[in-house]
Structure 1
Amino acid sequence: MTAAANPALSRSALDSAPFRPFWLAQALAREPVRPMPPLQGDTTADVCIIGGGFTGLWTAIQLKQAQPQLDVMIIEKDVCGAGASGRNGGCLLTWSSKFFTLQRLYGEAEACRLVRASEDAVYQIASFCKAHGIEAELRLDGTLYTATNDAQKGVMSPVMQALAERGLSSWAQWDALEVQRHAGSAAHLEGWFSPAAGSVQPGLLVRGLARVARQMGVRIHENTPMQSLVEDFRPQVITAQGRVIAGKVVLAMNAWMASSFAQFSRSIAIVSSDMIITEPREYLLAHTGLDHGTAVMDSRTFVCYYRSTPDGRIMLGKGGNTFAMGGRMLPSFDAPSVYQGQLHKALRRMFPAWHDVPLAASWNGASDRSVTGLPFFGHLHDHPNIVYGFGYSGNGVGPSYMGGQILASLVRGEDNAWTRSGLVKGPLGFFPPEPVRYLGSLVVRDAIRRKEAAEDHGCKPRALDNWLAKFAAAAGKADKG
């Protein structure tokens, strides 16, 4: 709706309205005007969750499923889904490609359990949406991990062999023609397909989860940023206009944790993932062969990914672009992507038939990259009643369901596979202090760009660029053996 179409909406109101990424804007436009009010005054809760994204909502929902009488509250600084949950690529993925990292960090048995749990999470999310009427455009059409140059060929083979040897593999290797036909592009040289994945409209999913949580009795207060946390036995969450005295507090703030708590300042690196989406062309999508919900990713360090939408669009994104110094949330993370031109060029190169199709939007968002490329959980300052979890490293749509299982188990004080997991030991590694981390990130990023550009042109990268690129391996999409 434009200002001209709605005279009551002034230009100043439009200018002051917050930027909303495509998925979230689409989801909010479909909702009735029924805001979740800010917190006013003092209150109590059995559990107060800070953050209304996937992790916070799944935690609340799983707590209410286990104990319907539990008084659970969520406070969210903006609207539910305004962070990564409403602005990611919508690729619903597992941890199977991270098997070697899981094995190295947590041991053989736990690595196998986590791979199985990550695949189960995909189906649990789909079942939950069906059971609760969440129309999130969720399509379990699998995922394709591909090679788009000769250097990427064979990269996936070691981890796929390891999965097969342990009876964990849901993957099948496809030849170039089969991959190109299903992925809609001649850019692919080989690929591995798994049906245990898919795609979803993340804005619709996160807003749907918020609706269901409220129906379960979860109190949600939007536009309520936490100003401070008092670490008493019964923690106190202080906001601008109120206070929550809680039995337990869950910190589900993801990328905001680094700037909010000094102990996590070196636990994650904040880096953008940038996306574009086209105007709908259903006939062209069918002609391209992308009229399905498969999520497609190449084997770059900073992965290039794409998928279609049910209304005939292509979304394409790429990670590892804008790095933030000191864990700060940059204004550019909440704006159209400054890499829109490069992404559009990549889309037209991959899909020549879409050359003249205009873009509907571009956006980006902050990703909380951990040293291991996996999230971590624990008790804040060993406080028995304050727990946290974050660090999804660009793959949170599916794994956040497991995050909810972990945090709900910690809140309930259970002794189970989740609370005994190595995932709950806090961060397993730290980035260098600033400004070394920031400057090093830029040096490594640019080396990766030069390396992959050389490989795209069939050239041998410089030895220095190869060496520098290894420093980013932990945050890559897939293990490389």
Structure 2
Amino acid sequence: MQSTQYSSFWFKEALENEPDLRPRKLETDTTTDVCIVGGGFTGLWTAIQLKMKQPSLDILVIEKDLCGSGASGRNGGCMLTWSTKYLTLKKLYGEAEAIRLVKASEAAVYDIEAFCKAHGIEAQIRLDGTLYTASNRAQIGAMDPVLAALDKQSINAWQPWTKEKVQSESGSDVHLEGHFSSAAGTVQPGLLVRGLKRVAEEMGVTIFEHTPMTAIDRQQTPVRIATPGGNIRADKVVLALNAWMPSLFPEFKHSVVLVSSDMLITEPAPEHLKNLGLRDGKSVIDGRTFVHYYRTTPDGRLMLGKGGNYFSFGNKVSTVFDQPSRYQAILRAAFRRFFPAMQSVPLAMIWTGASDRSATGMPFFGRLADNPSVVYGLGYSGNGVVQSWMGGQILSSLVLEEDNDWARSGLVSGPKGAFPPEPIRWLGAILVRNAIRRKESAEDENQTPNWLDTQLSRFAQSAGKADKS
């Protein structure tokens, strides 16, 4: 089976910058103040925040493959915020906390850029904003309710663009309406996560790769974590496993549903992009339930992705997520629709990533009920590039038992809502997914969708728009 380190274009490119890579494995028993399980964005940001707050802490990170080989190294690299989730945030956590989280998510975009500059992480960050569009008539006006609510609180960073400007700046005549926010950008996620690993190690964090957790004894403190090479005893444990949590911790098996996001990227074609009007690093996201999203790269590539394709039965992280996308036909059709003039440009790679979609579309954090020394965070729902920075703030605050806005956040209340058990969950997900596909296909053709498809689609829409980071 293909190693996961080559399962996305971003991660393959990032590893080419590490020709002398020699992953360090745990090979003996050890003790530590804090053990972080999972070496992606959440785990590494948590380790870094802990070291910045309390440099004397002994912190150990274990990762079953290479740091960033999971969702962190294979997402779209869109740096998005929670501003479009304001109504969901308000409903879940109240008005004041919703306002705070929107502001914090927008500030995090710039905090990540500043951190990378300060620590020499060359991650191709381009803070050129994001453009949310309507790619058919049915999507027009979809953002109006949330924009009105943001206006009411004077926290609306979005500005409407004319149809002509939207089409010119997005590179596609498919878009009929658009709103732009400058508080966003794009990043090469593989370079970012590998850069965070380097910085964490420079700060004194010990990182073991190819070191999976095979068991955890959470009934006592210190907590004992077993790995193939040795046991770890830790006073505090952070579970930063995201999509892998449900299969390892039964209490989360109904908290998320694992769904794929599938991506393609072209070979460099800077002249084609210039002719289309794609001259910067903004991301473009349409108004579908399972969105299309695309962005360019500094060397002239075009990446396009689509969420909501493969739903995992029983939340198993199967080999499907480590292989070229089985939905290539859907991706290629979308690419042709948006960019008919790009059909002669060869594709460099097509891949798949797993997203842990929560019932609310928002991540959740907390402590294990049977051992408060073990904290966790998951459920980013495909919008975690920026939000994992805030996850690091939350988890580091919980580990240090700080009394601050992050530790008191409404996000720190465990999962809100649950999915039904199997096989109902999987059958329901496929039923709703297929209804959404038929509904949106009809809307693309300016036809009236089937009534039943419209009703079924509301099950997904009730959890909020499936934004993709």
Q: Give your verdict on TM over 0.5.
A: yes
Q: Distance in 1 between matches of 2:123 and 2:40?
A: 15
> Counterpart in 1 of 2:140?
153
- Paired residue for 1:6? none
- SS of 1:384's partner is strand
Q: Secondary structure at the match of 2:369?
A: helix
Q: What whole-Å deviation, never above 9, does each CA across 1:275-306 have from its counterpart, x for those lacking one?
A: 00001011111111112110100000001000
Quote the residue 2:300 is aligned against: 312
For 1:476 and 1:346, locate their aligned partners in 2 and report how far apart those are by CA, in whole Å: 23
TM-score when normalising by structure 1? 0.95
Partner of 1:5: none
2:8 matched to which residue of 1? 21
Q: Does 2:402 align with 1:396?
A: no
| Structure 1: distance between partners of 2:350 and 2:183 | 28
Residue in 1 aligned with 2:287?
A: 299
3-state DSSP class of the match of 1:322?
strand
> Which of 186, 202, 213 is equivalent to 1:199?
186
Q: How does 1:113-132 map to 2 (within 5 A)?
A: 113-132=100-119
Which residues of 2 match residues 195-274 of structure 1 at below 5 A? 195-231=182-218, 232-274=220-262
User: 2:63 maps to which residue?
Assistant: 76
Match of 2:332 among 322, 332, 344: 344
Q: Aligned partners of 1:102 and 1:370: how far apart in 2?
A: 14
Aligned-partner residue type, residue 172 of structure 2: S
Report the 3-state secondary structure (helix = DSSP H, G, I; strand = E; otherwise coil) of the residue aligned with 2:372: coil
Residue 18 of structure 1 deviates from its aligned partner by 5.9
Say whether the 8 Å CA contact 2:170–2:284 is kept in structure 1.
yes
Q: By how many angstroms is 1:27 displaced?
A: 0.1
Task: Measure the CA separation in 1 of the matches of 2:320 and 2:466.
Answer: 28
Residue 414 of structure 1, aligned match among 386, 402, 417? 402
TM-score by length of 2: 0.98
CA contact (8 A) 2:290 2:466 kept: no
Select 1:94's aligned residue among 77, 81, 91. Answer: 81
Secondary structure of the structure 2 residue equivalent to 1:422: coil
Shift of 1:477: 3.0
Looking at structure 1, the residues matched to 424 and 348 of structure 2 have their Cα atoms a distance apart, in angstroms, of 38
For residue 165 of structure 1, what is the aligned residue in structure 2? 152
- Contact 2:237–2:375 (CA under 8 A) maintained in structure 1: yes
Give the secondary structure class of the aligned counterpart of 1:182: helix
Q: How far apart are 1:339 and its partner, in Å? A: 1.2
Q: 1:382 to 1:425 in 2, by over 3 A?
A: farther
SS in 2 for 1:296: strand
Match of 1:41 in 2: 28
Distance 1:357 1:90 in 2: 21
- Answer with 32-41 or 301-310: which moved more: 32-41
What are the equivalent positions in structure 2 for 1:424-443 lying under 5 Å apart?
A: 424-443=412-431
Residues 183-194 of structure 1 aligned to structure 2 (within 5 Å):
183-194=170-181
Code of the aligned partner of 1:401? W
* Aligned equivalent of 1:381: 369
The letter of the residue matching 2:37 is I
After superposition, give the CA deviation of every residue in 1:176-220 in whole Å (9 maximum; x if it has no partner): 101111111111001010000000000000000000000000000
C-alpha change, 1:349 and 1:131, in structure 2 (3 Å) is: same
Which whole-Å CA distance do the structure 2 matches of 1:156 and 1:123 have between them?
Answer: 24
For residue 465 of structure 1, the aligned residue among 426, 448, 453 is 453
- Cα shift at 1:237: 1.0
Deviation at 1:175, TM superposition (A): 1.3
The CA deviation at 1:165 is 1.2
Tell me how far 1:34 sits from its aligned partner: 3.0
Aligned length: 466
Q: Tell me by how many angstroms 1:380 deviates.
A: 1.2
Residues 142 and 193 in structure 1, CA contact (< 8 A), matched pair in contact too: yes
Aligned partners of 1:38, 1:100: CA distance in 2, in Å? Answer: 45
2:270 to 282, 285, 289: 282
Give the C-alpha shift of residue 420 in structure 1. Answer: 1.0
| Residue 347 of structure 1: how far off its partner (Å) | 1.1
Structure 2: distance between partners of 1:73 and 1:233: 16
The range that moved more, 16-25 or 161-170, is 16-25
The answer as to 2:124 corresponding to 1:137 is yes
Q: Establish whether residue 448 from structure 1 lines up as the match of residue 439 from structure 2.
A: no
Aligned partners of 2:11 and 2:368: how far apart in 1? Answer: 31
